[in-house]
Each structure stands twice: as C-alpha cells, then as structure tokens.
Structure 1
Amino acid sequence: MLKQRLITALVLGLSVLAAIFLLPPLGFALGVMMVVALGAWEWAGLAAITHPLLKTGYAALSVMALAGFYFWVDASMLGTLLLLTALAWAVVVVIIAVGQPPQEKQLLIRRWGLGAAGLVALVPSGLALIILQAIHPSWLLFLLLLTATADTAAYFTGKRFGRQPLAPHISPGKTREGLLGGLVGVAVLSLLGASWFGLELSIWFIFVCLCLITALISVVGDLFESLLKRAANAKDSGRLLPGHGGILDRIDSLTAAAPVFLLGLLWAGIVAR
C-alpha cells in the first residue's frame, strides 16, 4: 500500500508541475475544468446524487459554470465572486462547529443543499487556480506548497505533541497542537516566499497574515470534506487515485484555500488581474 501511495504521489506531483509550468493558460484552464468535472462527479456521490445521468449533469453544470466565469468574468466581478466565496467558507466554519451530518429524513435537503455547496466550492476554486497560473505559475506553485506545508507540519506536530482534538466529531486524528504546528510551518514558508517574490518589506506582514489565513481556511476545506464523507458513510471520495482515494481527497484543502489566497493577493495589490 505504501509503495502504491508513493508511486501515485510521484506521478501526480510530476503531472501537476508539468501542467503548471508547461501548459499555456488556456491549456491549463482546460485541465482544471477536467479536474473540476471529476471532483463534481465525486461530490455528487457524497451528496446522495446517485443516478449516473444526474451525476453527469452535475459535473457538466460545474464545468459550464467554470467556463462561463473564465471567459466572461471581469476584474470587478472577480473580486465580488471571491469575496462571496470567502463568506461562504466562513459559514462552513459554523457548520463544522455544529458538525452534525444530515440524516436520511433530510435526504432532499442534503441533495440540493450539498449540491449547491459543491458548485460554490469547486467553481471559484477552479477559477482561482486558473488565474494564479495565468498571472505567474510560481504563485500557484507557492499556494500548493503552502497547503502541503500546513498539512504536513500539522500531521507530524500532532503525531508528536497532539493532545487536544480539533474536531473529534469530524476528524478525530486532527489536534489543536497539530494545527499550531502547521501554522508555524506556514509562517516560515511565507517569510521565504516574501523574499522569493521580492515583496517590499512594508507588505511582508500583510503577506504573512494572508498565508496564515489561507492555511486556516485550507483546514476548513479539509474538515468539510471529512464531514461530507462521514454523512455519506464513505472512507474516500472515490477510487481514481490508487492509495489516495479520489480527486476530492487531494484537492479538499485547495477548494477553500485558492479563492481566499487570490482574493488576498488582489486586495493587497501584490498581484493584478
């Protein structure tokens, strides 16, 4: 199993790097749309949308929404979309705090509510990834490193020092100590990133704060997917990636982190659309 996980991780990592740095913006956008379609298919299953035609329609709707925003959204619309998405993830924090998965008697609410939530999670995040790559591939690579650092540092810190559960009703393995360790790792990475991108010293503090907020919201994305899987009584979102589960299992943090990170970069004037 470990060998399988390592092989999948290596192939996936090299493929992602090649796509980020070698594909032109339009080619990368098409690749992201494919990932969003696969993620939407898995999300539909977790939302109790089980009929193949409905799942296909849901995936197609997600891609059409992303394509529409990609080709027609302007700078002012982009800012509004990202802000609304960030507010939606703030609502998810409350949902996670409650942490009660929908019951069978609420199946209709679960289907429509979680179906709508999937569009809010997948479409803006896909758009943010496309825009970051178009601005400069290094920004997207940094975001991937940020979420990976938050997750990895949290795992090892929690394994060594973890005592207090972060959200025991959703993900018993996550601890508050692990979260703190992840934030420390992200703080170090953000300082290195500020230097690498040649940011002015006056904006370093804002950039570090943005990275920490992005790391925190990435945890929210991870926990929300865990809540969906618990509600669906599923261990993984899918089986597409051997040893790693499904697409959503790999992009759950990014669904929340990408829109917030791009919004912060635009708001601070660090990048321009």
Structure 2
Amino acid sequence: MGSQPEPLPTPVTQYGRDGLAAILARPERAVIAVDFDGTLAEIVADPEQARAHPDAVPALAALAPHVASVAVVTGRPAGVAVRYGGFAGVPGLEHLVVLGHYGAERWDAVTGTVHTPDPHPGVAAARAELPGFLEAHGAWRGTWVEEKGQAVAVHTRRAQDPQAAFEALRAPLTDLAAQHGLVIEPGRMVLELRPPGMDKGVALTAYLREVGAESVLYAGDDLGDLPAFGAVEKLRSDGMPGLLVAADTVIDELAEKGDLLLDGPASVATFLKALATHM
C-alpha cells in the first residue's frame, strides 16, 4: 500500500476552506501565485544575497504539472527573481511565469526572455537625488540604496535603529516620489520608489483572466502583497474561489486577512509540497 499524503492544514476562514476545496477539485483550472522575498526566500540583510529556500523550487515543480499555472509575483526585476530563485531550466517549471516589478515586467520560462517597459524618467531623477537627500535627512549611515532598473529602493535594515530610520524616511521619501511622478511602496525595512499604475493586485487579476483561471492561491508576506490579497478578496466576492496564505505573521494586516497562516519560506515550501501530493 502507498503512503498517505501529508495532511493539509485547515484554513481558518470559510472563504479559505472553499478556496482550497475548489483548487483540489479542479487543479487544472487553478493558478498558484506566490511572492518571492519572505515567501519563497528568507528575508536577509543584503537583498542581493536572497535565494529561494532549498525546498521551494522542488515544491513548485511538483505542483506545476497539476495546475493551470504557477506564477511568481514580485517587486524585484523579473530577471533578478529568476536568477535568485533558480527557476530557469527546472523540469516541471517549463511554463513558469515571473511577474516582476509588481507586474510591469514578465519572464516566461517557455521563451526564457523578459518583456520590460521603457523606464519611467522619474526613477532616474529620484535616483540621482537620493545620496544628497539621505544625507540631508541624517539617514545616510546604515541605509542602503538598491538599484532595481524600473524602481529604486532605500533599505533601513542595516541602520542602528531600522524601524526608526524607516519611519523617519517614510514621509520625506513619499514627497520625493510624488515630485517625480512616482509612488512609494513600503515593505519590511524598505521604501521603494516606483512608477504608479501597477501593483500585485492589478498584475494578478490580469494574469488570472489571461489563463482563464477558476480558482487561485496567493501567498505573500509583506505590505506589497496587500493589493494581491485585496484582488483575491474582490474575485471571491465575484464568485471565484481563492485561498490567501500569509507566509509570515510579522505584518498584522496580512495576518488578519490570511486564510492560512504560515511561518516563513520553509513552512510555505512544506505546504506547497503537501498540496501537490493531494492532487
């Protein structure tokens, strides 16, 4: 006799239980969408050192053949997420899609290419101002500017008091972003200046329509994932079952909205692997 699949955790909400049931009933019409940093990869002090958890890619590869699509939805440039995730050339992930820069960029495993829009001129202007801006606000020590191509981000994780630095910079950076036609995207000890008009909710909704999904699982851990959570809530109100997975409980707003609460990338990988065994 074969071994029984590992039990799946039970979502804490009826919406979540209905979403999970729909995914399991017709996996071939389901989309599994996941954030990268904090969901597939541990949060680290240096974002350039982030890598997918060793169990994450095998779990996605086990799921992918059963579902309509697996998508990684991230604020990172799509190509960077592909490299740090180790997604290219993985058996089982031949049809993986990475929606980078909150959906402004797209990498398809089928072609191995990234489609990207022309850069917003405000990003270059804001980037040029940031060194003097941070020094004028007394925030240069311990902060770090990350070049993201279509966006630019200020990290405070290395500051002596990361949270205080984050709060001190949030309003001034919001003003700087507005001066250049950009918006601010706060995260876990990071403030990103990026073009308006795209977020993970917009990207996810458009992708679900593109593939004709009938159900969706979305997993995320940070403030940038709230629009995707909101999109799934809207879709559920319109009749599409969905399961919201809070990959970490650090962000209260996500934990409150999550149907299933997990404890970081290792737990996410374990859950996704177990989900695959039930398909």
Interval containing the TM-score (normalised by the shorter chain):
under 0.3
TM-score, length basis structure 2: 0.23
TM-score, length basis structure 1: 0.24
